[in-house]
Chain A
């Protein structure tokens, strides 16, 4: 069965520091992978997605993610975090039928 694991429930980083949020997936075929961000009281916004090709994907707000098939991972990174990046981040895998399966989310706090 398809699944997504985000091992870190909560991460705190200092403003200006680099960030990496981990995501591991379980999926038999080539996965379609997504990262979404949810600000408090808001819906989810797509940061980036991966289907095929270059394994390093650029997204909005300065985020990038790298697909590593050998590790079944799709980690999200940002070189320098801003206070406005504080939010909850969700990794998701989508099967051929179109169903999105989300991880449990990682809450990011940013220290001044």
Chain B
């Protein structure tokens, strides 16, 4: 079975450009999570969806960040405009809904904003 798929795996862009990160969750999973990993702040939850509906976006840094989940098999995280401090590894994870369910992580997108 395919795991969580993220694209691109690496992204290098210039400050001010729009960046779109993509995620395909595991088929059948109805919860989806976006995390950011940096040396300074560790792993932070940015936003999560249940049944395509955003539940908690309190971790989204600012209005430059937005996330959508138009259907059960696809989600995007967009940064517009990007800034150097957005450089990080962004992970998508999915699970069945419920606090006891295991979250399965994708391989991550390594973003570098110059």
Contact = CB atoms under 8 A, between A and B. Distances in A.
Contacts of B85: none
Interface residues of A, number: 24
Interface in B59-73: none
Nearest to A90: B43
Interface in B67-91: 91
A40 to B, nearest CB: 11
Nearest to B33: A100
Contact of A43 (B4, B50, B55, B98): B4
A63 interface: no
A3 to B, nearest CB: 11
A6 to B, nearest CB: 10
Interface residues on B, range: 20 to 34
B108 A43 contact: yes
Q: Is the interface of B mostly helix, strand, loop or mixed?
A: strand
B97 interface: yes
A44 B105 contact: yes
A13 B91 CA distance: 29
A82 B32 CA distance: 33
A26 interface: no
Contacts of A90: 43
Contacts of B31: 98
A96 interface: yes
Interface string B96-112: 01111011111110000
Interface in B22-52: 31, 33, 42-43, 45, 48, 50
Interface in A67-112: 90, 94-105
**8 residue pairs, one from A and one from B, having the closest CB atoms:** A43-B105, A102-B43, A44-B105, A104-B42, A43-B107, A98-B99, A46-B102, A94-B99
Given A32-B100, A43-B107, A51-B100, 9 more contacts: A36-B105, A43-B106, A96-B99, A98-B48, A99-B48, A100-B33, A100-B103, A101-B45, A103-B42
Interface of B: 4, 31, 33, 42-43, 45, 48, 50, 55-56, 91, 93, 97-100, 102-108
